[in-house]
Amino acid sequence: MAKKAKTQVGLGSVLSTVSGPSSHEPPDSGLDNSVPADLIEKFTGSDKLSAAFPFNATKPSEYGSAAKCPFSGATTDAPNAVVRASTVSESNVNEKTGGGPPDGENLQKGDLDRSRVDSEGRVLTTNQGVAVGDNQHSLKVGLRGPTAMEDFILREKLTHFDHERIPERVVHARGSAAHGYFENYQPIPEHTKASPFNEAGKQTPVFVRFSTVAGERGSTDTARDVRGFAVKFYTDTGNWDLVGNNIPVFFIQDAMKFPDLVHAVKPEPHHAMPQASSAHDTFWDFVSLMPESTHMLLWQMSDRAIPRSYRMMQGFGVHTFRLINESNESTFCKFHWTPVAGTHSLAWDEAVKISGADPDFHRRDLWEAIESGNYPEWELGLQLFSEAQADEFEFDVLDPTKLIPVELVPLIPVGKLVLNRNPDNFFAETEQVAFCTAHIIPGIDFTNDPLLQGRIHSYLDTQLTRLGGPNFHEIPINAPLQEIHNNQRDGSNRQSIARGRVAYEPNSLGGGCPFQAGMQGFTSFPEHIAEDKVRGNPQKFADHYSQATLFWNSQSKVEKQHIISAFRFELTRVQVPAIRERVLSLLVNVDATLAQSVAQGLGIDVPSAAPLVEGVSYPVLNDSPALSETFYPGDGTIKTKRIAILAADGVNGNSVNALYDAILSQGGVPRVLSIQLGKIETLEGDMLDVEATLETMPGVLFDAMVIADGERSVANLAMDAHTVEFLRDQYRHCKPIMVSNPAKGLLDKAGIQPTLPDGSADPALIISNEYAEDTTLASIEQFLMTVAKPRDHSRETDPPLV
């Protein structure tokens, strides 16, 4: 009896959630087992666990020189698994609760299969799992009576539909994405300990999103705009987001001006026009008063702003970042993605027409390439340099309006990016993916680039509204492969159910867990800074024109003409003459010929140059060939290139089949087009399937075209004006054209000369003179070799002749 009286004292505390005895002596369950043994174990075990932490062992590392090397958190194992549990009742499991995760694990990690749903063979249900008997009609009081308010199936269905859309991104709203991997070539431990670069052949899963910047979610793909190039690396040390663009510089130098820039380029607030275009007054008003935008304006008015495909554009990290090695040494770094397919662009007239014919042109191109097994690929190159080197440059590497010419700091190839899987669901993956420049891993760190510093805040902040709160990291596409263990709790849309009573650190009641990693975790580079607080920029930031001139000097003759035409088009749409003149005053500081040519196109005189900042050195930079698209011709294949074969009744079926097979064998995409869908009769008496019509898929959607052999076929095509339009657009946009001898009359009808404007032979216009098989095959080979080359602009005139 004495023993029972003793144990009763502690057992009351075990059964309560407030206060407890002053003694460490463990209570006994008693002779009658009136208190569950596991509850006593949890009570006494918590005391033992906490007693293992007589003080905070990591506290000394927070002060003085020790703070440079934080201690790893102190931990101890719980004496029993139930001690760290939220509840002793967790052993009572069912189909819903499950048995709980293995100790120390977060089962939300892993691949996306844990979130995928397939409904094959399943009945339709409500969101509560109730089978739906009738999905065709609402519940009514009588067949012609009022709808019953109790119809919970109707209400759930409509309510969900009414709330399906989330806010679109403020910028980069229009985008497409794909899964893939980054494969490292060789480790670079002397520069970084970052996980993707630490092993030869290592593959890191990625999700990559491409986008336009200014347009809304429903805008066109082919607007003249900067393109986003964002890569989420799912590394074994956490997620790293390299959030860049297809242009290596930006309009502004400081994040303070980012809202102003976006407000200026977005549709004007009084009438909400224009959509996805910079060709309006507010944009040009803003940039004409921000001379640091001049370099970026040259890029945006160049062909880089209207890429042929997401697969055929470069990507850049834009900012200067730091790489950190195991010795905590820093190397400055610029990131470059170079497409294997080369850098290729659209003609402006072509881009405008594509917007009407297929506003999803880039999205469709990316999807189709991956589905066909022609996986897009880029090589990652790094520009690596020390802070001492950076100090010697005539520009500031922290200025996001400047680039580092590869002639000054060469690119070092370190790996390749391959996109090999399309998303299963656009909304769940592409729309809900959240990129943020703040997402970095050990081995990567920031610099003091003032635009980058603002982006670190802004990208994270915008997800709070767009994705419903601070738990957007739990959305499957955003979740890292690594487990998440921290003391963050609650918030809107919380998915994880944290076990245990502890949500703070340091703690003893959770055995010190989760504990800080110390030097094994992320530690910021200890950059020494001793300066006064000030608002402004370094003196080197004031050179707004030297690199704009460098870019201009590096362009081919054709590319320069395209820049002039783009400025002319955009500024013609500006209504206020003073704004046009102010833009021209910036261009005077870039190049006299550029300014004169644009002014002539606008019918105005060249104004005086915009004033320069006194005391600033303006270095003379000749050219950098790598800044021209012609520097990256691509792999020399016709893979994924779309080739139209125009045919009608009376076509030479043998030549069509030979051409079709040759295109397919080299990875191209042939399509037989005619006046209408159905079948056409060949010269041989066979029936040939038509795949698309001239009306549905106009010439701007193809990389090359063939008018197939057959006099009657050509005559039938000649009666349809779409044929002439198709031919004119292909010619005007400098695409390879092959026609049979009978089709020469169609060239005349379209106003196309067989020679170039200068009288020389047109290498991209191939006329097959004979029906002989060997001649046909030779013509096909010549044609496909031409298609494999970059676009030849020698036909081009301004204004166009056709």
Contacts (Cβ under 8 Å, ≥6 apart) of 243: 228, 230, 231, 435, 436, 437, 455, 459
Taking residues 337-361, report their average pLDDT. Answer: 97
Taking residues 780-786, report their average pLDDT. Answer: 95
Which 8-state DSSP code applies to residue 428? I
* Per-residue pLDDT, 30: 60
* Per-residue pLDDT, 6: 47
CA distance 240 to 260: 28
Instruction: Name the token pair of 623.
Output: 């050219």
Which residue out of 198, 239, 245, 716 is catalytically annotated? 245
* Per-residue pLDDT, 300: 98
User: Would the pLDDT of 196 be above 90?
Assistant: yes
Contacts (Cβ under 8 Å, ≥6 apart) of 234: 204, 205, 206, 207, 480, 481
Phi, psi at residue 424, to the nearest 5°?
A: -80, -35
CA distance 12 to 102: 31
Confidence of residue 798 (pLDDT cuts 50, 70, 90): confident
Place of tokens 């999700």: 207
Confidence of residue 724 (pLDDT cuts 50, 70, 90): very high
Residues β-bridged to residue 445? 322
Q: Helix crossing, 711-718 with 721-732: angle to 10°?
A: 90
Taking residues 94-115, report their average pLDDT. Answer: 82
**Pair 271, 277: CB distance under 8 Å:** no
Instruction: State the DSSP string of 91-130.
Output: GS--TTT-S-PPTT--TT-S-GGGT----TT---B-TTSP
* Per-residue pLDDT, 775: 59
Taking residues 208-213, report their average pLDDT. Answer: 98
Active site residue 245: yes
Confidence of residue 29 (pLDDT cuts 50, 70, 90): low
* Per-residue pLDDT, 86: 85
Residues of the chain with pLDDT > 70, as a percent, come to 97
User: Would the pLDDT of 192 be above 70?
Assistant: yes
* Per-residue pLDDT, 2: 42
User: Would the pLDDT of 5 be above 60?
Assistant: no
Taking residues 338-358, report their average pLDDT. Answer: 97
Consecutive H or E run containing 14: helix 2-14
Instruction: Name the token pair of 277.
Output: 């275009």
Taking residues 375-392, report their average pLDDT. Answer: 97
Confidence of residue 770 (pLDDT cuts 50, 70, 90): low
* Per-residue pLDDT, 697: 96
Consecutive H or E run containing 680: strand 678-681
User: Would the pLDDT of 193 be above 70?
Assistant: yes
Three-class secondary structure of residue 382 per DSSP: strand
Core vs surface per residue 736-772: b (16+ CB within 10 A) or e: bbbbbebbbebbeebebeeebeeeeebebbbebeebe
Instruction: Name the token pair of 191.
Output: 């520069």
Which 8-state DSSP code applies to residue 239? E
Active site residue 374: no
CA angle 600, 606, 611 (to 5 degrees): 145
Question: What is the residue-averaged pLDDT of the chain?
Answer: 92
Residues β-bridged to residue 693? 674
Judging by beta carbons within 10 Å of its beta carbon (0-12, 13-18, 19+), is residue 205 exposed, middle or buried? middle
Residues of the chain with pLDDT > 90, as a percent, come to 77
For the segment 32-75, what is each residue's pLDDT rounded down to a tens digit? 677 888 888 888 999 999 999 999 988 888 888 888 888 888 89
From residue 699, how far is each of 420, 523, 630 by CA, in Å?
29, 55, 24
Q: What is the rounded radius of gyration, in angstroms, for the C-alpha atoms of the chain?
A: 33
Instruction: State the DSSP string of 458-483.
Output: HHHHHHHHHTSSTTGGGSTTT--SSP
For the segment 512-567, what is each residue's pLDDT rounded down to a tens digit? 999 999 888 998 998 888 888 889 998 899 999 999 999 999 999 999 999 999 99
Taking residues 174-179, report their average pLDDT. Answer: 96
* Per-residue pLDDT, 80: 87
* Per-residue pLDDT, 8: 57
User: Would the pLDDT of 615 be above 90?
Assistant: no
Taking residues 464-488, report their average pLDDT. Answer: 92
* Per-residue pLDDT, 359: 97
For the segment 286-324, what is each residue's pLDDT rounded down to a tens digit? 999 999 999 999 999 999 999 999 999 999 999 999 999
Classify strands 175-184 and 203-212 as parallel, antiparallel or unpaired: antiparallel
**Pair 636, 789: CB distance under 8 Å:** yes
Taking residues 422-442, report their average pLDDT. Answer: 95
CA proximity to 405, closest of 302, 336, 322: 336
Taking residues 641-654, report their average pLDDT. Answer: 96
**Pair 710, 650: CB distance under 8 Å:** yes
User: Would the pLDDT of 89 be above 90?
Assistant: no
User: Would the pLDDT of 175 be above 60?
Assistant: yes
Taking residues 738-746, report their average pLDDT. Answer: 90
CA distance 406 to 411: 6
Judging by beta carbons within 10 Å of its beta carbon (0-12, 13-18, 19+), is residue 7 exposed, middle or buried? middle
User: Would the pLDDT of 490 be above 80?
Assistant: yes
> Could you tell me how many helices (H) and strands (E) the chain has, helices first?
19, 18
